Amino acid sequence: MIVTTAQLFKHAYGKYAVGAYNINNAEQAMGLFRGCIQSQSPFIIQISKGARKYTDKRMLEAIIRSAGEVFPEAIYAVHLDHGDEETCYDCINSGFYSSVMIDASHDPFEKNVEITKRVVKAAHAKGLSVEAELGMLGGVEEDISVDEGNSCLTKPDEAKLFIEQTGCDSLAAAIGTSHGAYKFSGHQSLHFEVIEGITKLVPNFPIVMHGSSSVPQEEVRRINAAGGKLGSAVGVDENEYLPAAKRGVTKINIDTDGRLVWTRVHREFFRDKPTEFDFRPPGKIFMDEYANFIAHKNKMLGGEGVLSDLRKSLTK
């Protein structure tokens, strides 16, 4: 059942974080839905601009609609990840999305406000909520690359002003994470003081954490042992998801870790079976492994076993 992102946030706020997972194809969709049923968790399906172009946006929507029929128990929202203004309007008008993200964080503050305000107006008119971004994460996002030196943490007083001026419904804040597999060279903690600073000034406002993959070292080791050449880096400590959630981080975005599962499964499969050329056997292993991976993440986010309570609260 597709619900609004606001409904998911209302149930989760301060207790657990809703996992937001990027999908591109049917195998990921199957693993995602199965994993969320396994852990009895709600979830957010994230669709990036790149995912919309990978096959065809209608193909991806059809896969999601079908997954909803295959797994009638699932409760989820559909969200545009890192949208530009034009893509936001396309999604708002499609009637399929629960929420959109307008990412104008690379523009100066005033321009970010101006663009976000326009998207909020269009989205609210159709009942969708809007995630906006302030501050700059490091890493690579589709066509934009920000090196660590240029990333900057969100300032809580600016966040308050931004939320008041734009009317956005949730805020992607830069709290020390970055996108992709190359995050930190050594252990690094989240900037809890930034989360607390925002929550203090804007109580009960959902904060979104991007770049939340943990880049498990065992996964990287296995990929490299099967012919990969991934560099060494670590991601977000999974034990910090829940403390962040308790402080107001309501949506946690994870994509890279799922890509690592895919890469590991396929590299090991074809290494061990060099005469194989049917893509279904590794595809089946991937769906199983991806489901387990999703269930594990949901547990770490504190959202394991919450589905029946959410269902009850939705029917009240």
- Residues lying near ligand 13P in the complex (CB under 6 A) are found at 22, 81-82, 179-180, 210-213, 253-257
Q: Which of ligand 13P, Zn ion, ligand G3H, none sits in contact with 212, Cβ below 5 to 8 A by type?
A: ligand 13P
- Of 57, 82, 267, 299, the residue at the interface with ligand G3H (CB under 6 A) is 82
Q: Residue 81 catalytic?
A: yes
Convert 64-84 to b/e letters by CB count within 10 Å (16 or more is b). Answer: beebbeebeebbbbbbbbbbb
> And the tokens for 208?
């979104």
- The answer to whether the beta carbons of residues 274 and 9 sit under 8 Å apart is no
- Of 39, 40, 41, 48, the residue at the interface with ligand G3H (CB under 6 A) is 48
- Of 179, 183, 264, 267, the residue at the interface with ligand G3H (CB under 6 A) is 179
Q: CA 31, CA 17: separation in Å to the nearest integer?
A: 20
> And the tokens for 218?
């065992």
Q: CA 36, CA 39: separation in Å to the nearest integer?
A: 5
Q: What mask of x and - would describe binding to Zn ion in positions 188 to 217, judged by CB under 5 A?
A: ----------------------x-------
Cβ-based nearer residue to ligand G3H, 90 or 114: 90
Cβ-based nearer residue to ligand 13P, 40 or 76: 76
- The answer to whether the beta carbons of residues 310 and 41 sit under 8 Å apart is no
Per DSSP, 136 falls in state B
Cβ-based nearer residue to ligand G3H, 180 or 197: 180
Place of tokens 């770049």: 211
Asked whether position 26 contacts ligand G3H by CB under 6 A, the answer is no
Q: CA 133, CA 163: separation in Å to the nearest integer?
A: 10
Q: Which of Zn ion, ligand 13P, ligand G3H, none sits in contact with 214, Cβ below 5 to 8 A by type?
A: none
Cβ-based nearer residue to Zn ion, 219 or 255: 255
Least spacing, CB of residue 196 vs ligand 13P, in Å = 21
Q: Which of Zn ion, ligand G3H, ligand 13P, none sits in contact with 213, Cβ below 5 to 8 A by type?
A: ligand 13P
Least spacing, CB of residue 277 vs ligand 13P, in Å = 30
Q: CA 131, CA 43: separation in Å to the nearest integer?
A: 16
Spell out the residues 6+ positions from residue 113 whose beta carbon is closer than 8 angstroms to its own: 162, 165, 166
Counting residues that bind ligand G3H (by CB under 6 A) gives: 10
- The answer to whether the beta carbons of residues 168 and 134 sit under 8 Å apart is no
Asked whether position 79 contacts Zn ion by CB under 5 A, the answer is no
Least spacing, CB of residue 207 vs Zn ion, in Å = 13
Q: Give phi and psi for 20, each to the nearest 5.
A: -115, 115
Cβ-based nearer residue to ligand G3H, 70 or 144: 144
Binding piece for ligand G3H, criterion CB under 6 A, among 45-53, 98-106, 271-279, 296-304 = 45-53
DSSP E strands in the chain: the ranges are 18-22, 43-48, 76-83, 99-102, 129-134, 139-141, 144-146, 170-173, 207-209, 249-254
Among 316, 220, 216, smallest CA distance to 267 is for: 220
Pairing label, strands 76-83, 99-102: parallel
Task: List the catalytic residues.
Answer: 81
Binding site for Zn ion (CB under 5 A): 210
Binding site for ligand G3H (CB under 6 A): 22, 48, 50-51, 81-82, 141-142, 179, 255
